Amino acid sequence: MNLPPAILIALLPLSWLYGEVVRIRTALYAHGWLKQKRLSVPVISVGNLTVGGTGKTPMVLWLAERFLAEGKRVGILSRGYRGSNGTSDEIELLKSRLGASVVFGVGPDRYVEGHRLESQQRIDVFLLDDGFQHLQLARDVDILLMDASRDTGRDRLLPSGRLREPISAMARADVLVFTRTEAQFGASSAIERLSEYPVFAARTRLVGYRLLGDDVKVLDAAEIGEGPFFAFCGLGNPQAFFRDLEAWGVPVCDRTVFADHHRYMADDIRKLQQAAKDAAAKAFVTTEKDAQNLSGVRFEEYPVYVSVIEFEIASEEGFLAAIENKLRSHQGVAA
| Residue 287 within a domain | yes
64 backbone φψ class: left, alpha, beta (φ>0; ψ -120 to 50): alpha
| Residue 2 within a domain | no
Residues 217 and 158 occupy one common structural domain: no
Residues 178 and 279 occupy one common structural domain: no
Residues 159 and 303 occupy one common structural domain: no
Residues 146 and 185 occupy one common structural domain: yes
Residues 43 and 188 occupy one common structural domain: yes
C-alpha dist (Å) from residue 174 to 5, 121, 139, 145:
36, 28, 11, 11
Q: How many domains does the chain have?
A: 2
Give the CATH number of the domain where residue 128 resides: 3.40.50.300
Q: For every one of its 335 residues, what pLDDT tens digit does the chain have, with 9 covering 90 and above?
A: 677 888 988 999 999 999 999 999 999 999 999 999 999 999 999 999 998 888 999 999 999 999 999 999 999 999 987 766 778 999 999 999 999 999 999 999 999 999 999 999 999 999 999 999 999 999 999 999 999 888 888 899 999 999 999 999 999 999 999 998 876 655 666 566 556 569 999 998 999 999 999 888 999 999 999 999 999 999 988 999 999 999 999 999 999 999 999 999 999 999 999 999 999 999 999 999 999 999 889 999 999 999 999 999 988 999 999 999 999 987 654 44
Name which of 136, 131, 111 is nearest 41 in CA terms: 111
C-alpha dist (Å) from residue 308 to 92, 97, 109, 157:
14, 10, 31, 32
Residues 52 and 174 occupy one common structural domain: yes
Residues 79 and 186 occupy one common structural domain: yes
Range of the domain at 190: 14-26+34-202+312-331
Give the torsion sign (CA, 309, 313, 316, 322): negative
> What does the alpha-carbon distance between residue 90 and residue 70 come to, in Å, rounded to a whole number?
24
Residues 233 and 110 occupy one common structural domain: no
- Whole-model pTM: value is 0.92
| Residue 195 within a domain | yes
Per DSSP, 197 falls in state S
Residues 51 and 81 occupy one common structural domain: yes
138 backbone φψ class: left, alpha, beta (φ>0; ψ -120 to 50): beta
| Residue 50 within a domain | yes
Element containing residue 175 per DSSP (H, E): strand 175-179
Name which of 152, 209, 153, 147 is nearest 182 in CA terms: 147
> What does the alpha-carbon distance between residue 330 and residue 206 come to, in Å, rounded to a whole number?
36
SS3 assignment for 59-82: HHHHHHHHHHHCCCCEEEEECCCC
The per-type count for the chain, helices as H runs and strands as E runs, is: 10, 11
**Do 213 and 237 contact (CB within 8 A), yes or no?**
no
Residues 176 and 258 occupy one common structural domain: no
